Structure formats: C-alpha cells, structure tokens
Amino acid sequence: MLTIGFLGGGNMAAALIGGLLKEKTEDLTVHVVDHHAEKLAKLEALGAKTHAEPGDWITACDLLVLAVKPQTMKAAVEPIVKLLNPKGAALSIAAGIEAGVLSGWLGGYPLMRAMPNTPAMVGAGIAGLWSPKGMDESLREAALRVLRAGGEVVEVKNESEIDLVGAIPGSGPAYVFRFMEALEKAGLKRGLSEESAHALALGTVYGAAELARVSGEEFSLLREKVTSKGGTTAKALEVMNRLDIDRMMDEAVEAALKRTAEMKALFR
C-alpha cells in the first residue's frame, strides 16, 4: 500500500493527482491539503482525500509532494515538520529552492527534486527527477510513479541539472506557444481567417512533434527531409538562420537559468 500526500492543490498537483487516480488501483491512497475549498472539491471528486489543514494524515504519507509556490514554501512546510513520516521522503516540484535549503526547513528530511511541465495537465508532460545517493529505492519509485502520472520522466544525475530541466521543458511550452503565436500572426497578416491561422499553426507544431516522437529520428534529419534544395522551405530557413535562431534560443535558456540562480540565492 502506497500513501502519497500533496502539500498544495494547484494546477500541477491536480494534473498529477488526476493521473495517479486514473490508475484505479487499490494499493494507492492520495491525500491533498489546500486552503481553497473549490480546488479541494474538484480533487475530492477525482478520489483524493482532501484536507483544509495539515494533520496526522501527513504521518501516514510515504511520499509528500511539495507543490506550493516557492515564495510560500518555507511558511507551508515549517508547521508540518513534526508530522512527517520518519520512514518517508519528500518530493519538491518547486523551482529555485535547493535541496539542502528545503531539507533544512524540513529538519533534515530526505528530499528529491523534480520539475514537471504544464502539458502534464493532459498527460503529455515531460519531467526531470533528481534523487540523492542513498535514497530508499521504493521512495524513488514512488516519486517516479507520481511524475509518470503526468507523462514521461528523465532522471538526472546532478541536482544542478534540475535547473536545466526548468529552463528547457519547464519553461519550454511557453517558447513553443510563442512560436505558434508568431506563425499564426504571419498567416493572419496574409489574409487567413483567425480560425484557419490558429488551426494551421497548432496542427503544424503538433504534427511535427508527433512525427519526431514516432520516427525517433534526429531533428536535423527530419528538417532535411522537409527541405528541398532551392525550394520554399529552404528559403524560409535561410531567414531563420540569418536571424540566428540558435543564438536566440541559447540566450533564452541562459536568461531562464540566470533567473533560477537569482531565486536560489534568495532562499539560501
């Protein structure tokens, strides 16, 4: 029997809870605490045991998922230190708070860090998981089970790599949505209806991603297969390369990493 608790019932927690409870297995109990009655009502409808305040139920949790905002994390975890299961562990999905800092707030409690992303809300997420050496294997597996409820999981070897997970797949959906906005605007500017421009931009990105996933081929090879020498695609790519799309994405990721470093410094 596995008991998982969620500290916070926001969108990401709700996505993971919903995915977990779709399993309909008898070996799993999910608890969640949140101060918003509307969120709790929705989660209770999914099958979670809901709470307005921390309590003894926390002691029953093998894994406690810390799913509150970074700026409210310390205030949220300090009251629960005495309630923690001595044989359990915590999984933080908050950006910008290092394991050493957060574990300290929890009185030295074992801690793993993960970074899921918003497509987990439709079961199409990709998350990174870091677990320290010596972490109980059953608790690591429990963390993987939680994250797989939202999609795929990549395990990273070093905690610092979680920052990269945050800057690439964590923030990445916004990068893709921004590209989709630009593609849609280009269509609108040239006379497409809003409905057509939106559908074409969405279908282009979805189809390309699905083709890449199913084929397993390198992105560069897939690009080459679409590009005829001297054709329309080649001319469009010449513009993207002239404007240095590689540099743009590199600087975007670097900016996200810089902001993560600033956040980490605030919590130390």
**10 assigned binding-site residue:** yes
- Determine if residue 11 is labeled as part of a ligand binding site: yes
Annotated binding residue 216? no
Q: Does domain 172-263 have CATH number 1.10.3730.10?
A: yes
Residue 18 DSSP class: H
Alpha-carbon distances, residue 187 vs 12, 64, 130, 138, 252 (angstroms): 33, 47, 42, 51, 25
70 is in an annotated binding site: yes
Could you list the pLDDT tens digit for every one of the 268 residues in the chain? 999 999 999 999 999 999 999 987 889 999 999 999 999 999 999 999 999 999 999 999 999 999 999 999 999 999 999 999 999 999 999 999 999 999 999 999 999 999 999 999 999 999 999 999 999 999 999 999 999 999 999 999 999 999 999 999 999 999 999 999 999 999 999 999 999 999 999 999 999 999 999 999 999 999 999 999 999 999 999 999 999 999 999 999 999 999 999 999 999 8
235 assigned binding-site residue = no
* CATH homologous superfamily of 2-157: NAD(P)-binding Rossmann-like Domain (3.40.50.720)
The residues spanned by each domain of the chain are: 2-157, 172-263
User: 68 among the known binding-site residues?
Assistant: yes
Contact (Cβ atoms closer than 8 angstroms) between residue 126 and residue 117: yes
Does residue 151 contact residue 126 with C-beta atoms inside 8 Å?
yes
Handedness of CA 169, 171, 177, 183 (dihedral sign): negative
Q: Are 258 and 164 in contact (CB under 8 A)?
A: no
- 7 annotated as a binding-site residue: yes
Q: Is 8 annotated as a binding residue?
A: yes
- Identify how many contiguous H helices and E strands the chain contains and give both numbers: 11, 8
Bridge partners, 154 (sequence order): 128
